[in-house]
Amino acid sequence: EAGVAQSPRYKIIEKRQSVAFWCNPISGHATLYWYQQILGQGPKLLIQFQNNGVVDDSQLPKDRFSAERLKGVDSTLKIQPAKLEDSAVYLCASSLWGQGANGNTIYFGEGSWLTVV
């Protein structure tokens, strides 16, 4: 079974530039997550999709971050303009279904490492 695919793996940009990350979840997974992980910290949820609808984006800095999930499958996360503090790993993850108490396992991609200089 193919895992969660992310690209690019590494990106270095200057502050105020823009960047986009792409994610392809595991086939059939309805829930897709984007997490931001700063070095030495735990992952912080940026946005959660259920199919192509947003169920939680309370911690997404909407003035500079945007995300979409086209047709309930692939997703892109964009940052524009980037700031130095956006340097982090951006993790995409997916799970079968996010509702209820089944505790479906979340499967993570390898992450996209962003350095803003």
Partner 1 sequence: SQQGEEDPQALSIQEGENATMNCSYKTSINNLQWYRQNSGRGLVHLILIRSNEREKHSGRLRVTLDTSKKSSSLLITASRAADTASYFCATYSGGYQKVTFGTGTKLQVIP
Residue ranges in contact with partner 1 by CB under 8 A: 4, 31, 33, 35, 41-45, 48, 50, 55-56, 59, 91, 93, 95, 98-101, 103-111
Residue 61 vs 81, nearer CB to partner 1: 61
Q: Minimum CB separation from partner 1 for residue 52, in Å?
A: 14
- Count of CB atoms within 10 A of residue 9's CB? 12
Q: Checking phi first, is residue 53 left (phi over 0); if not, alpha (psi -120 to 50) or beta? A: beta
Q: Minimum CB separation from partner 1 for residue 65, in Å?
A: 17
Residue 80 vs 99, nearer CB to partner 1: 99
Residue 74 vs 110, nearer CB to partner 1: 110
State both tokens at 35.
């997490």
Q: Minimum CB separation from partner 1 for residue 63, in Å?
A: 19
Residues 44/19/62/87 CA torsion (nearest 10 deg): 40
Residue 24 vs 31, nearer CB to partner 1: 31
Cα gap 62→105, rounded to integer Å: 28
